[in-house]
Chain A
Amino acid sequence: MEILVVGLSHNTAPIELRERLNVPEQDLPKPLEMMGESTDLVERMLVATCNRVEVYAVAEGPIEGAVEGITDCLATYRNVPKTDFLDKLYTYTAGEAVRHVFRVASSLDSMVVGEPQILGQVKTAYSIAQAREATGIILNNLLEQAFHVAKRVRSETGIASSAVSVSSAAVELARKIFGDLTGRSVLILGAGEMAELALRHLLDDGVRSVLVANRSYDRAVALARQFYGRAVTFESFRQEMVGADIVISATSAPHVILKKEDMQAIIQQRRHRPIFLIDIAHPRDIDPGCNEVDNVYLYNIDNLKSVVESNLKERKREAERAEVIIDREVGVYLTWLRSLDVVPTIVSLRQRVEQIRGTELQKVLGRMGDLTPEQREAITAMSHAMVNKILHQPMTELKRRAALQDGHLYTSVLRRLFGLEEKEK
């Protein structure tokens, strides 16, 4: 019985190969069935995203055979020659496999460390496998534990707390200035992909009123309609800045359109309410001197990029702390896994029952007063016989089941029924 991870990811394989091996979500059950029929994997699930194709499994027989079965299935199912990806595969077993699953679920193995999608993808893959009864006690426990670890990593480290794209960095800065963005207003000068992306992020965060100014009023109207906003004339943008909280500037003007003096006048009219200027135009739209005005926060595209860079570094530092958490959790899981072996279970069950027999026997002998050695012998023998008779059936059954695939279920239940877990702690 061995936990096994076989797969390839962005760390080992190029995107073309990952695409060829990828399995769409709705098709996941098929390869799971194939593996169930052609391999001796007692439990299995398949995680397939654009960044990874991985099989988590519990193998009955030798590892080599299981790995070969998995690769055969993948190759046949996706019709990709094995030789194309064999050297890109990695195989983890036991503790290393557990660690890998924990790291994947916690987004430590992701291309962008801390990205939130992977956890959902693993959860979906798991529920699909579970629905097909392809998983059992070991994978169920492994995945539940992995979700718990992912949650811990998320809440106890900052790997996901800082933005790693320019537009989400802008939103995050806005939140540090305004707190809740609900009901805030944003003014867009010009247009462009980046500006729209930033706007979309802001709208997701609760920004309600959108104003659009463009040298071409028609384009302003079109863009405003797209975001349920209001178009204003380009000439009036300075007046509109009095009411707006966030300004995204992306015009194609060849020179600065907002000078420091303009900004000083505007902030006076705003009664010093803070304003966040995002200048993503090239060349720049906003005089850098505006940042010196009190309550004005000006970020241009280079500033945002350097924020993203330092956030990425911060994530890497936080990832190291996450690895410590994972180390500890792998230890906890392996201890549980080992306890499922039949032999230690039988031993501790015997010990538990023997201990009860011993104490009860002493009590009874103490209360009975003077007995002949023969009488004592007979009572002791009876206690032994009872214990052995009672234990005989469960022990035999346990040993027989251990060889079958649901053996771990029996040991796990037995340990719980007799309270053998607590005794070990």
Chain B
Amino acid sequence: MAIDQFFFYLALLGYLLGTLHYLLHIASRRLSIGRAATYATLAGFGAHTLSHIFRIYALRRPPLGSLYESLSFFAWAIVLIYLITEFRYGNRVIGAFVLPMVVLAGSAAAALPRRIAELGPTLQGVGLWIHVALAIFGNAAFALTFCTGLMYLLQERQLKSRHPGKMHFRLPSLELLDDVGVKSLLFGFPLLTLALITGSIWAEYTRGSFLPLYGRETWSILSWLIYAGLLYARLSAGWRGRKAAILAIIGFCLVLFTLIGVSLLRGGRVL
């Protein structure tokens, strides 16, 4: 087993333990279990970072070339953004929603072929790597928007029903969920915008076509439009809460389809 692979599996184990403990933390409310969840996730994140470093060393290029690599990087970026959120807000309940997604993304990556693809000369260059990294970071931020949107809908239903149950006590306040939702959106959107711009420039440069009208690009633009609409509605029309949450969920489903669905349709090629 290559060393990067070893650390990748170690990271996956950390995330799995993190997931279990975050869920147990919600069920048991024990602070010690919550702390264990954070430590496991931090350890997983550390191992994952090492895995990337070893892979970069072996490939002599950023680990963003195949679906395996970008999924793994995607999971890593989600964890990074989540951990920052946890430290800032001091709330671990969100982890119980985010970490399962990380494990899912990580496991999907683990199931994919890990061989190092030879990339053609058109698929090299700093501009392309920046484009991919920006897109993945932007989408990772949207993963958090998605989770808090989901949690918002759950909590909102509890409050509207006037029969708040177990979930009600465990979930954070609507205010906090909405706040994390809008902040992650504000963080992700500029990244996605820059990713689209750099992507277009790169397409123009290599393929001579400025308008990327086929495949992934179309879907990317569609999800960008949804997030742009969401941001506009939030900032100018004062949209918030349920509608904003639903739009964030739809937007992220599109992102997932763009990232994974289109690649699978095209036989596992990312670029």
Contacts and interface: CB of A to CB of B under 8 A. Distances in A.
A33 interface: no
**In the complex, which range does the number of interface residues on chain A fall in?**
20 to 34
Interface stretch (B50-58, B122-130, B236-244): B236-244
A366 to B, nearest CB: 49
A297 B159 CA distance: 7
Contacts of A161: 29, 169
Contacts of B31: 155
Contact of A307 (B155, B164, B173, B240): B164
A183 B180 CA distance: 20
B172 A179 contact: yes
Contacts of B264: none
Interface string A271-309: 111100000000000000001001101010001001100
Given A156-B30, A158-B169, A179-B175, A307 B241 contact: no
A177 interface: yes
Contact of A176 (B30, B163, B168, B237): B168
A291 to B, nearest CB: 7
A178 B155 CA distance: 12
Contacts of A299: 162
A310 B169 CA distance: 12
Contacts of A173: 159, 164
Interface in B166-193: 166, 168-169, 171-176, 179
A310 B166 CA distance: 10
A20 interface: no
Contacts of B164: 173, 176, 307, 310
A162 interface: yes
A180 B91 CA distance: 13
Contact of B30 (A155, A271, A307): A155
A72 interface: no
A150 B248 CA distance: 43
B131 to A, nearest CB: 36
Interface in B137-172: 155, 159-160, 162-166, 168-169, 171-172
B29 A294 contact: no
Given A155-B29, A306-B162, 12 more contacts: A156-B30, A158-B169, A173-B159, A175-B173, A176-B155, A177-B175, A271-B238, A273-B238, A273-B240, A274-B175, A291-B162, A299-B162
Interface of B: 28-31, 155, 159-160, 162-166, 168-169, 171-176, 179, 237-243
Interface of A: 155-158, 161-162, 173, 175-180, 271-274, 291, 294-295, 297, 299, 303, 306-307, 310, 314
26 contacts: A155-B30, A158-B29, A173-B159, A175-B173, A176-B155, A176-B168, A178-B173, A178-B175, A179-B173, A179-B174, A180-B175, A272-B238, A272-B239, A272-B240, A274-B240, A291-B160, A294-B241, A294-B242, A294-B243, A299-B162, A303-B162, A306-B162, A306-B163, A307-B162, A314-B166, A314-B169
